Amino acid sequence: MKRFFTSLTVLAILATSTVSKADVSIEKSSFGQTKSGDEVDLYTLKNEAGMTVCLSTRGATITQIHVPDKDGKFADVTLGFDDVSGYEGEDNQYFGNTTGRVCNRIALGKFTLDGEDYELAINNEPNHLHGGKDRSLDKVVWKAEEVRDEKTGTGVTFSYTSPDGEEGYPGKLSVSIRYTLTEDNKIRMNYSAKTDKATPVNLTNHAYFNLGGAGSETVLNHQLKLEADKYTPTDETLIPTGKIESVEGTELDFTKMKKIGARIKKLDDTAALGYDHNFVLNNQTGKVKLAATLRDPESGRVLTVLTDQPGIQFYSGNFLKGQKGKGGKEYAHRSAICLEAQHYPNSVNIEGFPSTILKPDATYQQITVYSFSVVKPKEEGETKTSEKKPSENK
């Protein structure tokens, strides 16, 4: 009898796990055509809990993320456009895109590798930003394949092969990113890349978050905690000086939960115009660990970012300019932030930084997870209390 029940339990567990994985649905629809006539698809993933994520084949982009607040009300918490034409327009600031081949800046667009000098497009005077001008990874149309796998989960794998020399980078680079949605409201991104010639690779996702809903006026009341005691200071053009310094006593100290707006004004007149800094994560093990926690006290929504990357760029939407996004909503200055898990900017030119060089005999791999939840009533109480005492909130 006991054995009978044990087998029943095992069967029940097996059945539940099978059902829960199969229960993330995938729908494919058209997202429009690029200016050059390429068809772009949109994949909509939805889990049992109702969380919805939309992914477009242009730029392997996250275009929508609908998650519940503390009362169960859903909102889309990421910035973007209604169709591909918005993403091709001037108002797109890498919303939700995959950024690369090398995200962030390469000083003066130059580097030397294996004795050869390379020159890249200067698209952020005087530097190279986010992989280039015309064929960076955010601008090309990727192939997509639906994934329904017991082990890996349900989602979409995007792949793109960047030919040797594209945007000035050496080597033919084959990149793939598998996005999966879990039943516990996580978006999991598994990156991988292979090259046939040594080349720098640094990939990230450039999603902008406002946990009150995309188009909410500001993100300055959100609270942030970064698992980073150090950061990489930069020069006037946002290129790291090569030093690694402590955040202690500076506006960059997010080692404890702190309001984003608490000290941002002090950065108004700096080159970064706000937060636009690479934080050196405490976790340098190459294993996936907590990197950032973002919390909106009003809606109760919480985002945690987990990654195996050594750094995270915290960018406070300083260049958002009131452009119109999804449903005609305006994206005001500092109304969303990016938390870009990555290697440090300009690593290809700075010896002391963890290397971004991928060699033909190796595989680039990265895992980053966006995990959504809500503040539990007790935590919420704590937040309110601490808000009454602003000094504790700094």
CB of 320 to ligand BGC, least distance (A): 9
Q: What's the CA gap between 268 and 363, in Å, rounded?
A: 40
CB of 62 to ligand BGC, least distance (A): 15
Q: Which of 76, 276, 296, 308 binds ligand BGC (CB under 6 A)?
A: 276
Q: Which residue is nearest to ligand BGC (CB)?
A: 93
Tell me whether residue 285 is exposed, middle or buried, using C-beta atoms within 10 angstroms of its C-beta: 0 to 12, 13 to 18, 19 or more: exposed
By beta-carbon proximity to ligand BGC, the closer residue of 195 and 316 is 316
CA neighbor of 321 nearest in space, from 99, 93, 152, 9: 93
Contact by Cβ (8 Å): 389, 383: no
From the candidates 167, 227, 340, 343, which is the catalytic residue?
340
Binding mask 222-261 vs ligand BGC (x if CB under 6 A, - otherwise)? ----------------x-----------------------
Q: What's the CA gap between 232 and 244, in Å, rounded?
A: 5
Q: What's the CA gap between 394 and 251, in Å, rounded?
A: 9
**Greatest Cα pair distance in the chain:** 76
CB of 180 to ligand BGC, least distance (A): 24
Q: What's the CA gap between 236 and 243, in Å, rounded?
A: 15
Pair of tokens at residue 45: 């993933």
CB of 276 to ligand BGC, least distance (A): 5
What 3-state class would DSSP assign to 78?
Answer: strand
What 3-state class would DSSP assign to 347?
Answer: helix
CB of 105 to ligand BGC, least distance (A): 8
Binding mask 51-70 vs ligand BGC (x if CB under 6 A, - otherwise)? --------------------
CB of 13 to ligand BGC, least distance (A): 43
Using left for φ > 0, alpha for ψ between -120 and 50, and beta otherwise, residue 124 falls in: beta
Tell me whether residue 265 is exposed, middle or buried, using C-beta atoms within 10 angstroms of its C-beta: 0 to 12, 13 to 18, 19 or more: exposed
From the candidates 128, 206, 222, 343, which is the catalytic residue?
206
Q: What's the CA gap between 353 and 231, in Å, rounded?
A: 12
Where does the chain have alpha helices with state H? 2-22, 84-88, 377-388, 390-393
Residue 110, beta-bridge partner list: 119
Q: What's the CA gap between 388 and 181, in Å, rounded?
A: 37
CB of 237 to ligand BGC, least distance (A): 10
What 3-state class would DSSP assign to 36?
Answer: coil
CB of 385 to ligand BGC, least distance (A): 34
Is-catalytic flag, 340? yes
By beta-carbon proximity to ligand BGC, the closer residue of 76 and 276 is 276
CA neighbor of 209 nearest in space, from 55, 99, 316, 49: 316
By beta-carbon proximity to ligand BGC, the closer residue of 107 and 374 is 107
Helix (H) / strand (E) element for 113: namely strand 110-113
Q: From start to end of 126-229, where are the E strands?
A: 128-129, 143-149, 153-162, 173-181, 186-195, 199-200, 204-205, 208-209, 223-226
Binding mask 311-350 vs ligand BGC (x if CB under 6 A, - otherwise)? --x-x---x------------------x-x----------
Q: What's the CA gap between 355 and 351, in Å, rounded?
A: 8
By beta-carbon proximity to ligand BGC, the closer residue of 315 and 364 is 315
Q: How many residues bind ligand BGC (CB under 6 A)?
A: 10
By beta-carbon proximity to ligand BGC, the closer residue of 194 and 222 is 222
By beta-carbon proximity to ligand BGC, the closer residue of 177 and 238 is 238
Map the footprint of ligand BGC across residues 90-109, applying CB under 6 A. Answer: 93-94, 104
By beta-carbon proximity to ligand BGC, the closer residue of 69 and 138 is 138
Is-catalytic flag, 66? no
What 3-state class would DSSP assign to 4?
Answer: helix
By beta-carbon proximity to ligand BGC, the closer residue of 338 and 375 is 338
- Catalogue the active-site residues: 206, 340
Which residues here bind ligand BGC, judged by CB under 6 A? Answer: 93-94, 104, 238, 276, 313, 315, 319, 338, 340
